[in-house]
Amino acid sequence: MRTPRVALGLLLVAAATRGAVIGQAQAPAAGPTFDVVSIKPSPPQTGPTFRLNVLTQRPDGGVTIAQTPVALLITRAHPGTNVADMVGLPAWASREFYDISATASMPSPTNDDRMAMMRAMLADRFRLLAHSERREVPTFDLVLARDDGKLGPGLAPSDVDCEALAAARRAAVEAARQNGAPPPPPAPFDPNAPPPCAMSGTPTGFKGDMTIDALASMLRGPSGRLVMNKTGLRGTYRLNLTFASALGAGGLDVAPSPDDGPSVFTAVQEQLGLKLDPSRTQRDVLVIDRLERPTEN
C-alpha cells in the first residue's frame, strides 16, 4: 500500500537563518500571551490525501492550527530551528497531532509578538523547557558520485537564464503598475511539468529548476540530517528526483511503504549521479529539557 501524499502546510526545509532560542532551560520571559487557548487531539484523517500543519493567523494575533505535531509548533516558536536540530524530542511530539485555536486581542501584532505568544503557549500548556547548545552533529555531504563527474539522467544544467527571466517578469509587473493595469497573471502551474525556473516538491520527490544548494536544503527532510553541498556545481539545474516517502527520518513520523520506490540515498545516486556521504559538523541545536503532552482545556 502506498504512503498517502501529504499537502504540507510547512515545507520541511531547508536552509534558513537561525532564530533565538530559550537559554539555560528557562521559560520564556514575560511578554504577550494568547487570551484563551483550546488544544484538542486531531481527528483521524482518511482518504488518499491528508493535510498537515494548516495554519490561519488572524489580524488580532489569534491563530488556528489544524493537524499539527508539537514538534512543528516548536519550529514556529523558534524560526530557523528544524525538527532535525532538536535533541531530546520525545517520539510522541512528532507522531501525535493536535488542533489548536488561540484567541488574542492585539491591535497590530508583529512577528516577534506571534513567536512570543507561541513560546508562552508551549511553556504553559506543553510544559516546554529548552535551551540552545552547540554540538557536533551528524550531517551529510552532497558530493559527486562518479570520479569523471558524469551526472545522472535526472540532473542536467538548465539552459534558461533564470535571472533574466525574473528580471523580465519584474519589468512586466512594473509596466502594468505604471499604466494602472493589473499585473500579468502567473502562468498556469502544472506540478508534473513545472515551467522554467520553477519547481514542485512532494514528500516523494522534487521536480523542476533549482540550484544544487537548494537541492541540498530540500534533501534535509527526507534524509533526516543537514545536507552540505560539496559538489562544486554552480548555476541552475533541471532536476527530476523520485524516492520513497521518508518523512519519519526528518522527525515527522510517516512510515514509507515498500512499494513507494527507492530510498532517497539510492535515488540521489542513481537518478542524479550524486551521493550523500555521512559527515559531522558543529551546529547549534535546541535541547529539549522537558516536554509534556498538553494539559486539558
DSSP per residue, 127-186: --EEEEEEEEEEEEEEEESSTT----TTEEE--S-HHHHHHHHHHHHHHHHHTT-PPPPP
Residue 4 · residue 48 · CB < 8 Å: yes
219: enclosing H helix or E strand: none
What is the spatial distance between Cα 16 and Cα 116, in angstroms, rounded to a whole number?
19
Within 36-69, residue ranges assigned H as helices are none
Distance (Å, whole) CA 53 – CA 51 = 7
Residue with cell 528580471: 167
Handedness of CA 171, 174, 179, 185 (dihedral sign): positive
239-272 pLDDT, tens digit each? 999 998 654 444 344 444 555 679 999 999 999 9
- List, in sequence order, every residue forming a beta bridge with 284; answer none if it has no partner: 134
At what angle are helices 111-125 and 70-77 packed, to 10 degrees?
140
The three-state secondary structure class of 197 is coil
pLDDT score for 184: 83
Report the relative pairing of strands 49-52 and 63-69 from DSSP bridges: unpaired
CA dihedral 108, 114, 116, 120 (to 10 degrees): 110
The pLDDT value recorded for residue 221 is 81
pLDDT score of 27: 54
Single-letter code of the amino acid located at 192:
N
pLDDT in tens, 66-81: 999 999 999 999 988 8
Q: What is the pLDDT of residue 137?
A: 86
Calpha distance 205→263 (Å, rounded)? 11
SS3 category, 33: coil
- Residue 290, pLDDT score: 97
Low-confidence stretches of the chain (pLDDT < 70) are 1-30, 45-52, 189, 245-260
pLDDT of residue 180: 87
Task: Return the CA Rg of the chain.
Answer: 21
H/E element holding 62? none
Spatial distance between the Cα atoms of 96 and 126, rounded to a whole number of angstroms: 13
Our measurement of the distance from residue 178's CA atom to the centroid of its chain's CA atoms, rounded to an integer in Å, reads: 37
Q: Residue 12 gets which letter from DSSP?
A: -
Q: What is the model's pTM? A: 0.61
pLDDT score at 250: 40
Cα-based distances in Å from 118 to 61, 150, 171: 10, 48, 39
pLDDT of residue 145: 97
Instruction: Say what the pLDDT of residue 260 is.
Output: 62
